[in-house]
Chain A
Amino acid sequence: MSEPAATVAPDGACAPAAPTPATEVVLAVEGIHCASCVQLIEMQVAAVPGVAAVDVGLASHRARVRFDPARADLAGITAAIARVGYRAWPVLAAGASRERARARRMALWRLFVAGFSMMQVMMYATPAYLAIEGEMEADIAKLLNIASFVLTVPVIFYSAAPLFANAWRDLRLRRVGMDVPASLGLLVTFLASAWNTFVDSGPVYYDSVAMFVFFLLGARHLEQAARERSGAAVEELARLQPARANLLPDWPRSMRAHEVAAADLAPGDRVLVRAGEAVPADGRVCEGRSLNDEALISGESRPAAKAPGSAVTGGAVNLVAPLVVEVGAAAADSRLAQVVRLVDAAANAKPHWTLVADRYAARFLWAILALALAAAAGWSLADPARALPAAVAILIVTCPCALSLAAPLAFSAAIGNLATRGMLTVRGHALEALAGATHMVFDKTGTLTTGRMRVAGVDCAPGAGEAYLLALAARLESVAVHPVAQAIAMAAAPHAQLAQHHAIAQAREVPGAGVEAHVDGVPYRVGSPAFVAQLAGPAPAALLRHGGSRTLAAVGSAAGWLGVIGLEDGVRPGARALVAALDAAGVAVSLASGDRAPAVAAAAQTLGVEQAQAGMSPDAKRAYVASLQAAGASVAMVGDGVNDAPVLALAQVSIAIGSGAPLAQTRADMVLMSGAPADLAHAVDTARRTVRVVRQNIAWAALYNLIAIPLAASGAMTPWMAGLGMAASSLIVVANSLRLMPSRRARGPAAAAPSAALPAAA
């Protein structure tokens, strides 16, 4: 597994490999509105010497830059971004949230100015709409026009300023961005209206101007809010890591703590984590017992019990009592930091749909400009009075925003949704591929079973009680340590007092057979049926009826058989439901395991999996996946994410399940940290819904433009209708994408009930 670190996948997504000497920063970038902005920023930053990789997310408004600290610095990178007209700052820097609050206020204020001016300009415009020709005195009309002008000036020069700034930047760079047609339309309408107010007399369109700006800003504001909500999952993860830690320099001699920055903690440091605080770094408990809520990191909603020696994860919230923790890894290498990096990389990765939309957006804009010009020329021959409104309507009504937002927003909402449940989407194509998967191959039985024995049933001889039998067996087996003994001890724990009165002596373990001991002076045996039969005589057939599928632990004395405890490899809770759900969803499930045939067959039988292949080498697995693919299947491979890299790479999408594997080494496209099979079903469902939403979005955006452009060109659509339609079309895309967000009620720490902390016995 000594893979070379930090590879960059061809699609631009950074592989989540081990850290290289290079530094990585995440920058928030203000002013991204379109796919071409993304390309532009990527080009600019990549040109800075020393930058190894750059990746800008259209939906997340974030740039991830990996650079060599010896040759490049942060200031140089932000300067490069500023040169092309965007503002960037580090996401986790102290000023980031203040900067964001400031940007939010500015946006709100611009929106308010536009909205309020619009309302008032409408009032002034009403008489002109209602009056019959010649009914209104000329100087009253002029007065109303001047008043409208006065109130439209701030809309144009203040509210719409970012629009013009973006358009100007695009023009200076000799390209056409999303804001160019809209700015052109606005400016032409405003100047024509001003001309008609002060120099000539003719129709004015101040109401349309104000309304368009208001709608456009309103749509952008809502879109921004949506983006923040869908990015909130990652933010929430990043915020989990506390900034400060209570270092205990003299522990255990003294509990005197002093505060240090969490980023400065080094492995071996001891820190105090009070109840209610977040654990500052990964490490091990030295002192104290408590419960930790790790829901956001592992996806496990039940708080985990912690005692001296237990591992704790940075970002987990310590719920009950203070803990002294020895730091095991520096903050930047912590599991949480890795999780945040993975999720962030996924949010920036560009799925296939986005790339398609990007490619067409630029051509689309050129076509719009040409079309507007043609419409203006055409109408000025036929009916010069309608040339201006028709051209402006075309410029305004077309909405490449809806088209280019269609995919990224839906994907980021879905990725955020999955992340809140402990499912990380590492590569951008994962959701698409998962949605299209026709086969799901489980790489190991261990992904569906716990790998631990558990008591499945007890068959008692007449006169003995189940609980008593378990308690007795547990006491007899207390000298043994093998999995059967542990499973019985687990199951017997609630009934332990039932066998407490017996005096047990001379207990000895017979390897491979069981345990023999004297109970109140009478010899008893627990173990394989054959071992017990030597003492108790032939077994009654009724007791051995489960012998085929279960491992049996028999209990008997010289007086006869007491009963038989049946054990099986525990199926993970929800595994059966998962297989059933996948079946219902039309996904064929198969097991391709390297384990022995009986174990695989038993697991397959319990789970209801029909296709199970046992004893497979990695090469055989590869051949198996390849043969499925040759038959036209789209394969999702589920494994631990580390082994069998070639198989994982061959499958259309690979999913790592379970929290055992180190995240930094994962080669999977998705990681399910909780390891709960139900999450896998949820992931498939979410992936399918995402692709459906993206299709709807793209279909809607295409349909909208197809209908709106001819209407505008024919002059049937006035500029105000165009403004309304344009804003509505992007809002519909945004609202549709937000359906993929987790519902507010389903989230939050309230879901974790501390009373459920104890693992259910058997």
Chain B
Amino acid sequence: MDILYLLVPLSVVLVLLIGALFWWSLSSGQFDDVEEAGRRILEDDD
């Protein structure tokens, strides 16, 4: 059971890491317009 002393803190660290990852994706604007990317495939303006 001693392994829990490592695993539980590790899971906390993991949560914080994933949080940071989401923060990056959010701040780079990936969720600002979730429909645009789908529409862009259908447009042929190039």
Interface residues of A (CB under 8 A from B): 101, 104-105, 108-109, 112-113, 116-117, 120, 123-124, 137, 140, 143-144, 147, 150-151
Contact A112 B12 (CB under 8 A): no
Query: What are the nearest 3 A-B pairs in CB distance?
Result: A120-B15, A147-B8, A147-B12
Complex-state Cα separation, A69 to B32, whole angstroms? 37
Complex-state Cα separation, A101 to B32, whole angstroms? 7
Which residues from 2 to 42 on chain B have a C-beta closer than 8 Å to any C-beta of chain A?
Answer: 4-5, 8-9, 11-12, 15, 18-19, 22-23, 26-27, 31-32
24 cross-chain CB contacts under 8 A: A101-B32, A104-B32, A105-B26, A105-B27, A105-B31, A108-B26, A108-B31, A109-B22, A112-B26, A113-B19, A116-B15, A120-B11, A120-B12, A123-B11, A140-B1, A143-B8, A144-B8, A147-B8, A147-B9, A147-B11, A147-B12, A150-B12, A151-B12, A151-B15
A144 nearest in chain B by CB position:
B8
Q: Which of A109, A112, A124 meets B8, CB within 8 Å?
A: A124
Interface residues of B (CB under 8 A from A): 1, 4-5, 8-9, 11-12, 15, 18-19, 22-23, 26-27, 31-32
Complex-state Cα separation, A202 to B42, whole angstroms? 59
Contact B4 A109 (CB under 8 A): no
Residues of A within 8 A of B15 (CB): 116-117, 120, 151
Min CB distance, A106 to chain B, in Å?
9
A136 nearest in chain B by CB position:
B1
Count of inter-chain pairs, beta carbons less than 8 A: 39
B22 nearest in chain A by CB position:
A112
Min CB distance, A161 to chain B, in Å?
16
B23 nearest in chain A by CB position:
A109
Complex-state Cα separation, A147 to B8, whole angstroms? 7
Complex-state Cα separation, A109 to B23, whole angstroms? 7
Complex-state Cα separation, A541 to B41, whole angstroms? 68
Residues of B within 8 A of A101 (CB): 32
Contact A112 B19 (CB under 8 A): yes
Having A105-B31, A120-B11, A124-B8, one finds 7 other A-B pairs with CB under 8 Å, namely A104-B32, A105-B26, A109-B22, A116-B22, A123-B11, A150-B12, A151-B15
Complex-state Cα separation, A410 to B32, whole angstroms? 26
Min CB distance, B6 to chain A, in Å?
11
Complex-state Cα separation, A105 to B32, whole angstroms? 8
Min CB distance, B17 to chain A, in Å?
11
Min CB distance, A684 to chain B, in Å?
34
B11 nearest in chain A by CB position:
A120
Residues of A within 8 A of B31 (CB): 105, 108
Residues of A within 8 A of B22 (CB): 109, 112, 116
**Contacts A101-B32, A116-B18, A116-B19 given: A137-B1 contact, CB under 8 Å?**
yes
Complex-state Cα separation, A258 to B27, whole angstroms? 37
Min CB distance, A19 to chain B, in Å?
36
Q: Which of B5, B8, B11, B22 has the most CB of A within 10 A?
A: B8
Contact A140 B11 (CB under 8 A): no
Complex-state Cα separation, A672 to B8, whole angstroms? 64
Complex-state Cα separation, A398 to B5, whole angstroms? 40
Min CB distance, B19 to chain A, in Å?
6
A143 nearest in chain B by CB position:
B8
Residues of B within 8 A of A105 (CB): 26-27, 31-32
Min CB distance, A54 to chain B, in Å?
32
Complex-state Cα separation, A144 to B9, whole angstroms? 9
Complex-state Cα separation, A143 to B4, whole angstroms? 9
A120 nearest in chain B by CB position:
B15
Residues of A within 8 A of B11 (CB): 120, 123, 147
Complex-state Cα separation, A137 to B4, whole angstroms? 12
Complex-state Cα separation, A137 to B19, whole angstroms? 30
Residues of A within 8 A of B4 (CB): 140, 143
Min CB distance, A275 to chain B, in Å?
16
Residues of B within 8 A of A109 (CB): 22-23, 26
Residues of B within 8 A of A144 (CB): 8
Residues of A within 8 A of B27 (CB): 105
A150 nearest in chain B by CB position:
B12
Min CB distance, A323 to chain B, in Å?
24
Residues of A within 8 A of B5 (CB): 143
Min CB distance, A760 to chain B, in Å?
33
Residues of A within 8 A of B32 (CB): 101, 104-105
Residues of B within 8 A of A147 (CB): 8-9, 11-12
Residues of A within 8 A of B12 (CB): 120, 147, 150-151
Min CB distance, A549 to chain B, in Å?
54
Complex-state Cα separation, A202 to B28, whole angstroms? 43
Complex-state Cα separation, A579 to B31, whole angstroms? 48
Complex-state Cα separation, A137 to B1, whole angstroms? 10
Q: Which of B15, B23, B27 has the most CB of A within 10 A?
A: B15
Min CB distance, A136 to chain B, in Å?
10
Min CB distance, A95 to chain B, in Å?
16
Min CB distance, A392 to chain B, in Å?
25
Residues of B within 8 A of A143 (CB): 4-5, 8
Complex-state Cα separation, A570 to B26, whole angstroms? 59
B31 nearest in chain A by CB position:
A108
Min CB distance, A196 to chain B, in Å?
18
Complex-state Cα separation, A124 to B27, whole angstroms? 29
Residues of A within 8 A of B26 (CB): 105, 108-109, 112
Min CB distance, A119 to chain B, in Å?
8
B15 nearest in chain A by CB position:
A120
A139 nearest in chain B by CB position:
B5
Min CB distance, B41 to chain A, in Å?
18
Complex-state Cα separation, A505 to B9, whole angstroms? 105
Residues of A within 8 A of B18 (CB): 116
Complex-state Cα separation, A143 to B18, whole angstroms? 22
B2 nearest in chain A by CB position:
A140
Residues of B within 8 A of A116 (CB): 15, 18-19, 22
Residues of B within 8 A of A151 (CB): 12, 15
Residues of A within 8 A of B9 (CB): 147
A104 nearest in chain B by CB position:
B32
Complex-state Cα separation, A113 to B15, whole angstroms? 10
A123 nearest in chain B by CB position:
B11
